[in-house]
Structure 1
């Protein structure tokens, strides 16, 4: 935890915007043509922060527990880094921060999938 906190403090000043913190398909409202028109469900982890935090979390939570989750996270991380200009190491750091702030929000202990997922991000 102390390494992650120190690394976050060492980041240069970053741009800020509203960060949803749980940007997954069910939280994106599409119109009839399939174009995104709104983001729903603000509240879980909504705050003001670096847009790279949103990209980092979105890359990881799109497929958290599936057999190809690590591959999907890596692919989305590379895509977001390339297309949005975020450094991959910053995205990895923000995922660790997300793990620290959400590890106990969903389940109640080490047998919960979210807890294990967060612990793995911190290893």
Structure 2
């Protein structure tokens, strides 16, 4: 890494990371070779699941919030429940018109979340997408980018649930993609299928308005959350 000071600012220049984004080279879902792209994502998630959350992650904030997501002494389930309630309080007026029985579904989801077993704390990336994984010519992962949006100390199963939904989030076949990933998570990582679905609905609520400041709504995932909750 080279550090220079062209004026009052400090600028760092780093070597370019190897690899290309997975989404630029991955075969389309359902075509020959797609399973290799799926397994690439599974490999990344399996590696993350082995990483204990360092102290700096415990001090991190998520989304546009100012305070740490999980203060000292607060459990993962408690912190995640509180985050969902804060997001619903801020953006529920946008979600309620498009999600049937919205308040009841949120409470049911939080009850399901409360019944989950408290996990061993690991690093949750929170945004494992095909654009954030760099791969080599054989679709093996070589780098993972863009920690920060929902990076937190928590449950690796949440990371997997989110990654399945994010992999091809705008595709009309997104439910099929999620199901294919869930099968791999159950078979290869030993995750519980119902827990994946609970976490995916939680994640959809968290990111539905993640870019709400965009006046054009280009990044709004409100309709996607509605589709998941209304199916």
What range is the shorter-chain TM-score in? Answer: 0.7 to 0.9
Match of 2:111 in 1: 6
CA offset digits 1:53-74 (Å, max 9, x no partner): 1111111111112132211111
Match of 1:16 in 2: 121
CA offset digits 1:51-104 (Å, max 9, x no partner): 101111111111112132211111111111111111110000001110121111
CA-atom RMSD, angstroms?
A: 2.2
Gaps of 5+ in 2: 1-105
1:46 & 1:17 partners in 2: Cα distance? 11
1:32 & 1:96 partners in 2: Cα distance? 34
CA displacement at 1:106 relative to structure 2: 2.9
The 8 Å contact of residues 99 and 122 in structure 1, kept in 2 or not, is answered as no
- Structure 1-normalised TM-score? 0.86
Gaps of 5+ in 1: none
Match of 2:224 in 1: 117
Match of 2:196 in 1: 91
The aligned length equals 123
- Structure 2-normalised TM-score? 0.48
Task: Name the SS for the 1:44 alignment partner.
Answer: coil
Match for 1:46 among 151, 160, 183?
Answer: 151
Task: Name the SS for the 2:153 alignment partner.
Answer: strand
Larger fraction in helix: 1
- Higher radius of gyration, 1 or 2: 2
> Which residues in structure 2 correspond to 1:43-82 (within 5 Å)?
43-82=148-187
Task: Name the SS for the 1:25 alignment partner.
Answer: coil
CA displacement at 1:112 relative to structure 2: 6.7
CA offset digits 1:13-63 (Å, max 9, x no partner): 212211111101211123465431221101111111111011111111111
